[in-house]
Amino acid sequence: MVTGVNATKVLKEIHTFMLAQLKKATNNYDDNLVVGRRGFGTVYKGLLENDKDVAIKKSKTVNPKQVEQFINEIDASESKLPLDF
């Protein structure tokens, strides 16, 4: 279970996208769009179809037991991303 002050905020702001949308937004996970690497994945700068810049984190793991850790890592990263990455 995800806990903490920001957990509810993070869970409310996480959006689900189809894999094809993520690939398109990151130009098929282009290495030139990498803005950071963390323990559970790589963060890419992406551009959605509505022209909104987003940070897209591609997880290294598919283990359901590590989902909480992945979400907590996103929460920790939230305050560290530059506003105009």
For the chain, the domains span 7-78
pTM of the model: 0.61
Which pLDDT value is given to residue 74?
57
CATH 3.40.710.10 fits 7-78, yes or no: no
User: What is residue 72's predicted lDDT score, i.e. its pLDDT?
Assistant: 65
Confidence of residue 2 (pLDDT cuts 50, 70, 90): very low
Interval 36-82: pLDDT, tens: 987 778 999 999 999 989 888 888 766 777 666 666 665 555 545 44
CA–CA gap between residue 63 and residue 67 (Å, rounded): 7
pLDDT at 40: 75
Provide the b/e sequence for 6-34 (b: ≥16 CB within 10 Å): beeebeeeeeeeeeeebbebbeeeeeebe
